[in-house]
Structure 1
């Protein structure tokens, strides 16, 4: 094991030379959207925070974003200040109660970001869908009519590898894997990648992993540095250069119901998520 950090003035936390990703050019038109599922079967890895914060950064760069809350906990809806009770939700669309997906879309307080909310009702969706024909493709069919309205659709998946997550992976063009820099989080990545490969083989041949983004990184701890080193050794360039550090600002932004890029625009973490947005655009994952 490494006993000291590789990080220096010219080397980032991943051990690679620091790159300056350019500010993206403005788009002349919007759509069709690329669909990205943010997925990790382990909870508490910063998945919802990354979905919201990345959306905020993309909106600053003029991208139109649709956020799909696909977790019965409804954390994304709450984190965006979106009403998720007594309104049409993704659950209503999934079980056919709401025929037009547009009726579930709510504008957020941030220009360019819309949200399809979720609540605890979504936990019953797998039971309802188990007997449906082509049940893995329901979300893909629901999103298809609105893809031309957005540049990117970000799906915040629940922390499991059940039918809802398979629906998200079947609907997606790419997968972004937030990974906490902690040993037990690392252990589950192989299982997640195996699930992604099965969905690619059997349901969605176009699916690809857009990247693994390290979250909750604390450069002061040897453990975090060693976990990140092992991830880079195991997954190579699939690991993004951008690394998200720990900060108390994320829960504060969640309570305020807004992305950190709006809540604390000059904070280091806000700049890091702008860097993540630029890196994904530079990689071609987002227009």
Structure 2
């Protein structure tokens, strides 16, 4: 059975995309699934959060055809793997602009290993350029992390337009898989009000699990590990464990 390929995307920065890829991936791994995480962001925050700096092979070399996917995959733990990024990826859009089928380069590589994993999670950059298009063309689903703040849904219209165009022209199988709220503080009236608004807007696309504001989630990257290894008793670990279970339930139902 082929992997569920899920892009974690929002072109608003600071919403918890990388944190969610790291910890959702680790949560699914703890649930017994084989997981590959792909860092598609030139800032390489996912890679650095897991202790990978200046990798010998990277997603950049993969897209340029200078590396094969089997050489680019790094084993973090048994059945938990990653393809790292590097700063050179920032030039990929220009370098690949004249390549035939440039929107499908990542998909062509992922297809070589798609039977080897249960889940492939892609950390998208905070932009809607060729890197994000490659991720969407490869994916079954897109998940949106949203902060419980007033401007949370601003700008999503453009993102939804891009997804619709990808569905029409490049990947008819792409779906909006779900939305989940990050950095939530139940004590703040604004957070509660925005959560209610997001619930009304997205309906059953909204995950029941809410990722609470949690210091341990911010600290874990400095220790170059995930929340389950850093502080398994924290609210962050509980929330991402719950989210992983909910993702598992939804994707099994939709498989």
Alignment TM-score, normalising by the size of structure 2:
0.96
Q: Partners of 2:251 and 2:116 in 1: how far apart?
A: 19
What is aligned with 1:208? 175
What is aligned with 1:59? 29
Aligned pairs, number: 254
| Aligned pair partner of 2:109 in 129, 142, 148 | 142
Q: Partners of 2:244 and 2:55 in 1: how far apart?
A: 33
Q: Determine helix, strand or coil for the equivalent of 2:121.
A: strand
Asked whether the 8 Å contact 2:55–2:84 carries over to 1, the reply is no
Gaps (5+ residues) in structure 1? 1-30
Q: Which has the larger radius of gyration?
A: 1
Measured after TM superposition, the shift of residue 190 of structure 1 is 2.1
The reply to whether residue 88 of structure 1 matches residue 88 of structure 2 is: no
Q: Report the aligned-residue RMSD.
A: 1.3
Q: Determine helix, strand or coil for the equivalent of 2:32.
A: coil
What is aligned with 2:75? 107
The reply to whether residue 155 of structure 1 matches residue 125 of structure 2 is: no
The reply to whether residue 70 of structure 1 matches residue 40 of structure 2 is: yes
The reply to whether residue 190 of structure 1 matches residue 190 of structure 2 is: no
Q: Partners of 2:46 and 2:108 in 1: how far apart?
A: 22
1:117-161 deviation per Cα after TM superposition (whole angstroms, max 9, x unaligned): 001010010011110111111111111101111111000000011
What is aligned with 2:251? 284
- Which aligned pairs between 1:124-135 and structure 2 lie closer than 5 A? 124-135=91-102
Measured after TM superposition, the shift of residue 86 of structure 1 is 4.7
Larger % of helix: which?
2
What is aligned with 2:191? 224
Asked whether the 8 Å contact 1:186–1:227 carries over to 2, the reply is no
What is aligned with 2:14? 44
Asked whether the 8 Å contact 2:183–2:212 carries over to 1, the reply is yes
Between 70-79 and 186-195, report the one with greater CA deviation.
Answer: 186-195
Asked whether the 8 Å contact 2:7–2:123 carries over to 1, the reply is yes
Q: Determine helix, strand or coil for the equivalent of 1:209.
A: strand
Asked whether the 8 Å contact 2:69–2:109 carries over to 1, the reply is yes
Asked whether the 8 Å contact 1:36–1:155 carries over to 2, the reply is yes
1:220-266 deviation per Cα after TM superposition (whole angstroms, max 9, x unaligned): 11111111111111111111101101111112111111110111111
Q: 1:126 to 1:283 in 2, by over 3 A?
A: same
Gaps (5+ residues) in structure 2? none
Q: Determine helix, strand or coil for the equivalent of 2:153.
A: helix
What is aligned with 1:26? none
Alignment TM-score, normalising by the size of structure 1:
0.86
What is aligned with 2:66? 97
Measured after TM superposition, the shift of residue 184 of structure 1 is 1.9
Asked whether the 8 Å contact 2:28–2:248 carries over to 1, the reply is no
